[in-house]
Amino acid sequence: MLERSPLLRDEIADFETVCASRKLNSVKIMLGSLRDTVVSLYSVYRSKSGSPLISPVCVFSPEVLAALESNYNLTYEGKSLGDLRVEILKNSIGNFCSLCGARPFYGLDHYLPKVIYPEYSILSSNLVPCCSQCNTKKASIVGSANGRFLHANFDSFASVESWLHCDVRSDAEFVDTVFSVSKRLPAAVQGDAEFHLLKLELDSAYSKMAIGELISIKGLLEEAFLDGGEIAVIFELRRLQRSIVRGFGVHFWKNALYEGLCADRGFVSGGFAKIC
């Protein structure tokens, strides 16, 4: 996951914009009558940081539900709220998905699914850039008392160096990596982070991506080892790690990978030769 700051948009004005632009007068009147209700729910969302465990699920008639959900269609290019989509995507970090923080995004995801929470279908705080894989796996899952997905706009781990931990295993025939949630995370979000990692299957996704990253640096590490042995390898790994953090922040998955590589004595003392 990559943290991102919520947009400073007038979210009430966004709702009023889509209401005014609906073509059917009956839909326009229906949505207009819901304005105060939606404004109140927007306030609840902000106060609860979007948490599905404490955000109320409203019961709407099928007609109202369909109207609220279809407001999202007006965020596409050329529509009355097309600028919202553009602004959110521009606010992404390195064009990466906000859920996995690793793959390029392809569109937007509703943190609280619009089929369950249609009132938040155009709420900028509820929309995050997302890749197709995460969007498919997240689907309409909301969460429970056992955990929820991390919210890129509200969950912050400023107190830790990375929300991820990576164990590197170089004592077998090839180098293997295992990703898990950092035990340094605050207890309040530990379960949510584990839920996020499990439901999106990010542990295996990061391990697969790590293979490509390791192959790309193998030659560099071989040269470093010939020049200065283990110390030179660690120096090179730390140099690459600093560059990653400068570009994408400490919660980018590669930061955890490089931290794990530096911590594995077998890897830096020659185990990198098993990269394949």
For residue range 127-161, what is the model confidence (pLDDT) as tens digits? 999 999 999 999 888 887 788 999 988 887 776 78
Amino acid 78: pLDDT: 87
Distance CA 52, CA 40 (A): 16
Amino acid 4: pLDDT: 66
Residues facing residue 143 across a β-bridge: 148
Distance CA 98, CA 96 (A): 6
The closest alpha carbon to 7, from 123, 134, 130, 150, belongs to 123
Amino acid 3: pLDDT: 66
pTM to 2 decimal places:
0.88
Helical residues (DSSP H) of the chain, grouped into ranges: 11-21, 25-33, 35-47, 62-70, 82-90, 132-138, 187-199, 202-248, 253-263, 265-268
Amino acid 185: pLDDT: 86
CB atoms under 10 Å from CB of 98, counted, come to 27
Residues 78-111 have pLDDT tens digits of 899 999 999 988 877 778 999 999 999 989 999 9
The closest alpha carbon to 178, from 191, 161, 165, 163, belongs to 165
Amino acid 189: pLDDT: 84
**What residues of the chain score a pLDDT lower than 50?**
none
Amino acid 53: pLDDT: 67
Amino acid 132: pLDDT: 95
